[in-house]
Each structure stands twice: as structure tokens, then as C-alpha cells.
Structure 1
Amino acid sequence: MAVAEHLNFRHAANALGVSQSSVSARVKALEENLGLLLFERHARGVRLTDAGRHFLERVAAGVDQLDYAVKTAGMAAAGECGRLRIGIHALIPGSFLAELIARYRDDQPGVEVEMTEGTARDTVMQLRADRLDIVFVAGRPELPDCHTRLIWTEPLMAVLPDRHRLTGRPVITWNDLVGETFLVRHGSTGPQVHDHIVLRLAGRWPAPSIRRLDVGRGTLLSMIGQGFGITVVGAATALLPTTGIVFLPIADEPEPVAFTAVWSPFNQGAALRNMLELAGRISRRGASPDRMHAGDYPAV
């Protein structure tokens, strides 16, 4: 390529910082290996043959690809490009998770972020099948084959119709909710919400009535507003635009809802490492009040 650029062995050698004889020998060896002439020699230099011109075009494209491959490999090793596949329970504007992903995309614009929404069980299964890189789930799962880390917490809130008998109170207790009909979703955190209600109201009479619905979050909240029942959620849900419902803290809930990151111990990717480091930094210092309503999300 240097000889083709300068059309002179001596000038090419000077540009490369090697001897003219070395350049001449390398070109001659290449021509012998190919079984064709790449250059026509003359007294003042060389000229590309038709075969040489064709070969140069292809080689130049290959060198460009090699340079690009070297550059992007280095970026991938640093987590500056590539792909990060994330499993989530929901992405609510203004929530900790939404802030985390937004900041990550700002910090790593070369990384393609893919998100899959599902239950904790479904997303962890996809993680184990290497279809996801990291999963954020409600609770503190014990998964011996995965790494886990508590990332953030949210107070637990009861969601009631705005005309409910309890809506005038600043806070309520689980005992206040005995006898209520609870609505939970099949997807997202629905299974965990179901189990949590059963645990908190165990042994109280009457036993809770829990309806499991195959609906989205918006439809569930709308049904509560229409009086179909009540539910419990993490405080981030209160950031959604809603009408006809109220969110009340549960005073005797022993601890806030924990949200945990789960990832494979075999995943050593820099994109994943950068995500975990960013999550730790945001969690330690708290999110910006204007975007996160940080007072609603106690720092871990």
C-alpha cells in the first residue's frame, strides 16, 4: 500500500522507516506468492498493473476493517461500545431505575441498551440462558448460581380508590386492610405482591381475597379507581399520572421494598461492570430530587 501510494520504492521505504531493499523484497515475495505482477517497474519508480490496482482496492478495504476491529475491540473491552441486555419489572419515569438507565446511556452512548420486561422468575430464567446480562427484581432473592446486590429500596404503599373509607388517613396499617379485595397482576412484580399480601395477612380473619389479573399496570390502577379492589406497590408507582386513586404509606410494614440486581458470575463484560458501578454511585449519593423525588427512595 505504501509503494502504491508513493509509486516509488525509495519514497515508500522512507515513509515506513525501513530500508528500500526490505520494501523491494517484501513486494517481490508477495508477487511470487500471488503468482502475478502488482507493479510495473521503470527507471523513475513503479506503476500499478491492473491486477495490482484490483488487489490494492480489496486490501485497502480489509485494512480499514482491521483498524476498525482493533478500535472497537478496545472500546468493547472498556465498556464503551457493545450491548447491554437488561431485564426489568417496569420502567416508570422518575424512578430510580429510569434514572439509572438514563444516566448509563448518557455515560455510555456507544452501548446499545436492550430491555425486557417480565416477572422475576422469567427474567432470571432468561439471564441463566444468557439472553440477558443483568436483571433488576423486587426482593432479596437467594440464587446460589448468580451474583446479587441490593441496589435501592422504596416504601411500600397501599393503593385505594379516592372514595375509599381509609383515604382520609395519613397512614394505614395492615390490620386496616383485612377483608379487602386485592388486585394483583400476573406479570411484572405481581407474583411477589401476591405472596407478600398472603404473608402479611396470614392468620387474620377474614382471609384476604386476591384476584390475579392479566392486565397492564395502567389498567390495574384504573380498575382500582373504579372500585374493583385495592393493591400494594412500591412508591415509584405513585410517580405515574393517575386519577381516582390515592397512595397511602403502610405504617407497620417492617421494611421498605428492596430491589436487587442479579447477574451471572461468568459475565465479566465491562458494559455490565460499568452499569453496576454507576448503580452503586447513584444509590450511595441519592438521585437528583427534581427527577427522582429522592425523599421517596431511601438510599441503600
Structure 2
Amino acid sequence: MASLIQAIAVAEHLNFHHAAKALGTSQSSVSARIKALEDELGTPLFERNTRGVRLTEAGRYFVERVTAGVDHLENAVKSASLAASGESGRLRVGVHGLIAGSFLDRLLTRYREQYPAIALDMAEGSARDAITQLRARQLDVAFLVGTFELPDCHSRPIWTEPLVVALPSKHRLAGRVGVQWTDLAAETFLVRHGGTGPQVHDHIILRLARGWPPPAIHRFTVERGTLLSMVAQGFGITLLGAASQLSPTFGVALVPIIDEPDPVVFSAVWSPNNRGAALRNLLTLASKMRRTETTAGAE
């Protein structure tokens, strides 16, 4: 590599002395390396004379291609360095959904601002789908509802949200400041097969397990927006995180559940084999944002 770089320098300056000075080495070292390179190639690259040197036809051809190769190599080295520090590359993120202004939305926005050379690939799906994709190395990280203890994945709670119930705006409970679980026992709940649907289903069963008859829960293979439209039309009610209040749906009222003992936890889940700096930077930023917002909320 040193010989190639010195050959490029001599071709640029057409003078061994000037090339050596530009490279910070001796003229004799440059001359020796070029001579050894020519011997290895079996052809002269330069014609020497008292005024300096000039490229032979073989030398011109060689230097043109070596220059392009060295440029590519330098770019590769820089790219590898940036990737190693998490400054460039690609990050594949699984989400349960993305609401404008929510914690996750703000996190990804700030991450893209700080690391603009990282390409973010987004995939939406259920927790089960996301964990399968993590194990298959199709995702780098997934932000999911709940806490997880998986033998082959790392997880960390990132943020929380109060739980709210989505009601038709004309529902008898829609105008209340808050409701209790007993107020909802006779309602028909709507949940999705995908997204956060399985977790919502299990949570309803948990909270109303002692009641009789058991809660009516209907599952639908629809997107979140369609499910909320069904709520507005009076098909039933559903549960959401409080961030949904940032994106109101016409005909739907969101009311806090005041006797819900704990907020909804959202966790990051990733493979322990993924030690990429891009992922590490995202998790560090998430933890920093959580601490900052928790401190601000306490004040």
C-alpha cells in the first residue's frame, strides 16, 4: 500500500524529491519503493531524466486504476469506522405502532437528527412476530408493550403510559373524568389479532377475571385506525396507551381508567448477539430521554 501511495504521489508531482517531501519521507525511500514496484510488475512506470520524471504509457494506465482503487479503499475504511462508531449503517426497528408526538416518535426523531447517516427500517407487527424476527436477525430491536423475560433476548423497560379506554363519543361513560374497571365489566371489548391485540386481550381477562359472566372480547384482523373507527360506530370499546390522546379519532372519547394499578410498560427487546454501535446509541438515547422526562415530570 505504501508503494502504491508513493507511486500516486510521484505521478502527481512528476518529481521524486517533491513527492517525498509531500509524503514526509526521504527521496531515496521513494525511489527504492518505486523501483521495487516496477521490478515486481516487470515494466517501468516512470521515465527518469535530469528534470524529473514522466509517466510511461503503462505507468499512466497503472496509476489511473490504482488511484481509483485507493479512493475506494479509503472510503471503505471510513465507512467501516463510521459503522463501528454507530455513525452510519442501517438499523431495523420493530414497533407496535407509531403515534406522532409519542415517546417512541420523539425518540426516533431525535435519533435521526443525531445520526442522520443511519438508515432506519421500520416494521409494524405483533410482539410474537417481532420476537420471531429478532431471533431470525431480521430486526435489530423491537419496541413492544409489556415486560419480557426471554432466555435468548435482552429486554429493558423504556417508557410507560397511563391506560385509557376508547369509547364511542356518545357512550354513557364518555363524558366522565375517569372510569373504573367495574364500569366496563358489561361492555364488549374489541381487540386486534395483530399489533398489541394479544396483550390487550390478556389484560382485559386479568382485570375482569372475577366477574360473571366473563368479559365479551371480539377479535378482528384490522389495523389500529380501523379498530378505532369500529369503536366510533358503536361496535364496542378498546384499550389504548395514553399517547393515543395525541392523535384523536373522530367519534371516539378516551377516558382514563382510574383504578388501573400500573401504567402500561413499553420495552425494548433485542438479541444479545447484536453488539452494533447503532443499536447501542439508540438504547442509550432512549435511557437518557426517559431519565430527563422523568425528572421533568417530578419537578
TM-score by length of 2: 0.93
**What is the deviation of 1:108?**
0.8
Q: Indicate conservation of the 8 Å contact 1:182/1:209, yes or no.
A: yes
**Structure 1 residue 15 and structure 2 residue 2: aligned?**
no
**What is the deviation of 1:63?**
1.2
Provide the secondary structure at the position in 2 that maps to 1:286: helix
Which amino acid is 2:172 matched to? R
**What is the deviation of 1:160?**
0.6
CA distance in 2 between counterparts of 1:168 and 1:92 reads 24
**Structure 1 residue 157 and structure 2 residue 164: aligned?**
yes
Determine the structure 1 residue equivalent to 2:249.
Answer: 242
Which amino acid is 2:12 matched to? E
Which amino acid is 1:46 matched to? V
Provide the secondary structure at the position in 2 that maps to 1:84: strand
**Structure 1 residue 196 and structure 2 residue 203: aligned?**
yes
Deviates more, 1:94-103 or 1:192-201: 192-201
Determine the structure 2 residue equivalent to 1:231.
Answer: 238
1:2 to 3, 9, 14: 9
CA distance in 2 between counterparts of 1:110 and 1:83 reads 8
Trace 1:149-298 onto structure 2 (pairs within 5 A). 149-286=156-293
**Structure 1 residue 38 and structure 2 residue 30: aligned?**
no
Q: Indicate conservation of the 8 Å contact 1:86/1:133, yes or no.
A: yes
**Structure 1 residue 110 and structure 2 residue 110: aligned?**
no
| Unmatched 5+ stretches in structure 2 | 1-7
Deviates more, 1:18-27 or 1:269-278: 18-27
**What is the deviation of 1:244?**
0.8
| Unmatched 5+ stretches in structure 1 | 289-293
Which amino acid is 2:151 matched to? P
**Structure 1 residue 85 and structure 2 residue 92: aligned?**
yes
Percentage identity across aligned positions? 64
**What is the deviation of 1:92?**
0.4
Determine the structure 1 residue equivalent to 2:4.
Answer: none
Determine the structure 1 residue equivalent to 2:108.
Answer: 101
**What is the deviation of 1:74?**
1.9
Instruction: Give the total of aligned pairs.
Output: 292
Determine the structure 2 residue equivalent to 1:76.
Answer: 83
Determine the structure 2 residue equivalent to 1:124.
Answer: 131
1:142 to 124, 141, 149: 149
Q: Indicate conservation of the 8 Å contact 1:96/1:287, yes or no.
A: no
Which amino acid is 2:40 matched to? N
Deviates more, 1:36-45 or 1:213-222: 36-45
| Deviation readout 1:153-177 (Å, 9 max, x if unpaired) | 0011111111112123211111111
**What is the deviation of 1:70?**
2.0
Provide the secondary structure at the position in 1 that maps to 2:58: helix
| Deviation readout 1:110-147 (Å, 9 max, x if unpaired) | 11111111111111111111111111110111112111
TM-score by length of 1: 0.93
CA distance in 1 between counterparts of 2:288 and 2:11 reads 53
**What is the deviation of 1:287?**
8.2
Provide the secondary structure at the position in 1 that maps to 2:280: helix
**Structure 1 residue 48 and structure 2 residue 74: aligned?**
no
CA distance in 2 between counterparts of 1:79 and 1:9 reads 41
**What is the deviation of 1:206?**
2.1
2:36 to 13, 23, 29: 29
Determine the structure 1 residue equivalent to 2:5.
Answer: none
CA distance in 1 between counterparts of 2:205 and 2:105 reads 29
CA distance in 1 between counterparts of 2:257 and 2:163 reads 7
RMSD: 1.8
Q: Indicate conservation of the 8 Å contact 1:179/1:205, yes or no.
A: no
Provide the secondary structure at the position in 2 that maps to 1:285: helix
